[in-house]
C-alpha cells in the first residue's frame, strides 16, 4: 500500500474516533426520564417537570367526567398526597357525585377517602344539576359501579379538621362550585386562613364564559359561595376557561390514543362521550376542553403555569345578566375610575400555561 493511502486511512480512523467520543459525551450529558437532574436530586417527567415531594391536598369536586379525569391524574401523581376527596352537588346531584368520585379513585388504584358535602348552594337553594356529560355525569356509558362507599363524616368538617391539623401546609384543589369551601370559611374563618393555597378551576379568566357569555359554570352554580371564597383573604390561584381552550383541548386522535393505552385510558375516553356529542352539536367536532384536568396539571406541577397576574377578584352576585361574572382588578394597574386602591390582592390568575404539554403529561401519568 502506498504511503499516502496509509496516511489517509489513519486520518479517517482518527476522525471516526473523535466523532464517536463526541457522541458518547453528548449522550452522557442528556438526563434520562425519571433520573435525577443536573443537580443530582430531582426526578423529572419525560417533559421535564419535577416529580415530588408529595404535598398534602384535599380535592373538592362535583364529579363530572372532567373532574373524574382530574382525580385520576392526581391519584397517579407522585406530587400529591390526597388526604381526602370532598364532593358536592354541581354537574350532578350529591349522591351521583359521590359514586363518580369513588369510581374514578377505584380505577386509579387509590384508597383516598370520599366525604359527602353540600347538596344545596350557599343560600340553601337546591342546585339544578345540569351536565353536558350525561345524566350520570360520566357519559352515560355504564362506567359507574364503585365497590367502596363514602365515609360517614361530613365534607365541611373534614376540610376544617385537616386545616387545623396541617396549618400553612394544606392545599385545596377546587374543581366544582365553592359551596363546601364557603361553608367551611363561614364556620371557622381562622382555621381556613391557615390554608396554604386554594387552586380553583373557575371563572372565565380573561375570556368568555360557558354558563353565560360572562360566567363560568362552577361560579354560576353558586356565586355567593365563590364570593365568600374570594373575599376570605386566602391565597387563591385561579385557572379560568381561557387556559383550557386552543392547544389545551383534547382532539379526537388523542381520545383514540387514550382508548388504546390501557383500562384507565378507556374509562376516561368513554366518560367524555356525551361532552364530545355536545361539542359536535355546537359546531366543534374535532376537540373538547378538559378544564378540570388542566387545572389539576397546574396544581400537580406549579411550573406548568408559565405566567400569572396578581389580582383582586370580585364576584357579581346580583340576579341579572352579569350574575357570577368575576371581575379581576390587576395589581399595579391604575384604573381611571378608581381614586383609591384598598383592594386585597390575594388572587393569582393563570395567564399562560404549557398547553401543548397537557395531554402528554396526562398520558404519561396514567401509563
- Provide the β-strand partners of residue 347: 236, 311
> Residue 20 domain-assigned?
no
> Residue 359 domain-assigned?
yes
> Residue 31 domain-assigned?
no
CATH code of the domain containing 168? 3.90.245.10
User: Which has the higher per-residue pLDDT, 13 or 114?
Assistant: 114
Which range marks the domain in which residue 318 is found? 55-366
The pLDDT of residue 42 is: 65
> Residue 16 domain-assigned?
no
Tens of pLDDT along 27-82? 333 343 343 444 345 678 888 898 879 999 999 999 999 999 999 999 999 999 99
> What distance in Å separates the CA atoms of residue 13 and residue 219, rounded to the nearest whole number?
70
**Count of other CB atoms within 10 angstroms of residue 135:** 12
Q: Residue 18 pLDDT > 50, yes or no?
A: no
Phi, psi dihedral angles at 353 (to 5 degrees): -130, 170
What is the pLDDT averaged over residues 209-217?
A: 97
Considering only CA atoms, which of 152, 139, 143, 68 is closest in space to residue 110?
Answer: 68
What is the pLDDT averaged over residues 315-330?
A: 97
> What distance in Å separates the CA atoms of residue 261 and residue 134, rounded to the nearest whole number?
24
> Residue 218 domain-assigned?
yes
**C-alpha grid cell for residue 13?**
480512523
> What distance in Å separates the CA atoms of residue 98 and residue 85, rounded to the nearest whole number?
9
Tens of pLDDT along 19-29? 344 444 443 33
The three-state (H, E, C) secondary structure of 173-205, written as one string: EECCCCHHHHHHHHHCHHHHCCCCEEEEECCCC
What is the full DSSP assignment across 209-226? -SSSSS--HHHHH-HHHH
> Residue 316 domain-assigned?
yes
Helix (H, G, I), strand (E, B) or coil at 18: helix
C-alpha distances out from residue 174 to 58, 144, 262, 265, 309, Å: 8, 22, 28, 23, 19
- Provide the β-strand partners of residue 251: 287
Number of structural domains in the chain = 1
240 secondary structure, DSSP code? -
Strands 250-251 and 305-315: unpaired
What is the pLDDT averaged over residues 323-348?
A: 90
> What distance in Å separates the CA atoms of residue 215 and residue 227, rounded to the nearest whole number?
13
Tens of pLDDT along 239-285? 999 999 999 999 999 999 999 999 999 999 999 999 999 999 999 99
Q: 120 and 89 in contact (C-beta within 8 Å)? A: yes
> Residue 163 domain-assigned?
yes
Q: Residue 223 pLDDT > 80, yes or no?
A: yes
Query: Catalytic residues, which ones?
Result: 62
> What distance in Å separates the CA atoms of residue 180 and residue 120, rounded to the nearest whole number?
10
Tens of pLDDT along 127-156? 776 679 999 999 999 999 999 999 999 999
The pLDDT of residue 337 is: 86
| pTM, entire model | 0.88
> Residue 220 domain-assigned?
yes
The pLDDT of residue 13 is: 45
Report the interhelical angle of 179-187 vs 155-165 (nearest 10°): 60
The pLDDT of residue 177 is: 97
Amino acid at each position: 500500500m502506498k504511503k499516502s493511502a496509509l496516511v489517509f486511512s489513519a486520518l479517517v480512523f482518527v476522525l471516526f474516533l473523535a466523532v464517536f467520543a463526541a457522541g458518547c459525551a453528548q449522550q452522557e450529558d442528556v438526563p434520562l426520564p425519571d433520573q435525577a437532574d443536573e443537580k443530582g436530586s430531582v426526578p423529572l417527567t419525560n417533559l421535564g417537570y419535577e416529580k415530588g415531594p408529595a404535598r398534602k391536598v384535599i380535592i373538592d369536586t362535583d364529579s363530572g367526567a372532567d373532574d373524574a379525569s382530574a382525580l385520576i391524574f392526581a391519584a397517579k401523581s407522585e406530587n400529591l398526597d390526597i388526604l381526602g376527596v370532598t364532593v358536592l352537588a354541581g354537574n350532578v346531584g350529591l349522591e351521583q357525585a359521590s359514586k363518580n368520585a369513588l369510581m374514578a379513585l377505584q380505577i386509579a388504584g387509590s384508597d383516598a377517602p370520599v366525604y359527602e358535602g353540600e347538596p344545596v348552594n350557599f343560600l340553601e337553594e337546591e342546585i339544578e344539576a345540569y351536565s353536558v356529560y350525561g345524566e350520570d355525569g360520566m357519559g352515560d356509558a355504564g362506567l359507574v359501579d364503585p365497590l367502596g362507599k363514602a365515609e360517614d363524616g361530613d365534607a365541611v368538617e373534614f376540610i376544617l379538621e385537616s386545616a387545623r391539623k396541617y396549618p400553612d401546609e394544606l392545599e385545596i384543589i377546587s374543581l366544582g362550585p365553592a359551596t363546601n369551601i364557603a361553608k367551611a370559611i363561614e364556620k371557622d374563618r381562622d382555621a381556613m386562613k391557615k390554608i396554604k393555597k386554594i387552586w380553583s378551576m373557575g371563572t372565565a379568566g380573561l375570556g368568555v364564559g360557558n354558563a353565560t357569555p360572562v360566567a363560568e359554570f362552577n361560579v354560576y352554580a353558586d356565586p355567593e359561595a365563590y364570593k365568600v371564597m374570594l373575599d376570605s383573604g386566602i391565597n387563591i390561584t385561579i385557572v379560568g376557561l381561557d387556559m383550557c381552550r386552543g392547544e389545551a383541548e383534547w382532539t379526537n386522535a388523542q381520545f383514540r390514543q387514550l382508548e388504546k393505552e390501557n383500562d384507565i385510558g378507556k374509562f376516561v375516553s368513554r366518560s367524555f362521550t356525551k361532552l364530545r356529542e355536545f361539542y359536535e352539536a355546537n359546531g366543534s367536532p374535532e376537540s373538547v376542553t378538559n378544564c378540570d384536568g388542566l387545572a389539576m396539571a397546574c396544581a400537580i406541577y406549579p411550573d406548568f403555569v408559565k405566567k400569572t397576574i396578581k389580582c383582586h377578584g370580585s364576584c357579581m352576585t346580583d340576579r341579572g345578566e352579569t350574575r357570577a361574572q368575576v371581575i379581576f382588578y390587576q395589581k399595579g394597574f391604575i384604573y381611571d375610575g378608581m381614586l383609591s386602591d384598598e383592594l386585597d390582592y390575594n388572587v393569582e390568575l393563570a395567564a399562560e400555561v404549557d398547553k401543548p404539554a397537557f395531554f402528554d403529561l396526562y398520558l404519561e401519568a396514567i401509563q
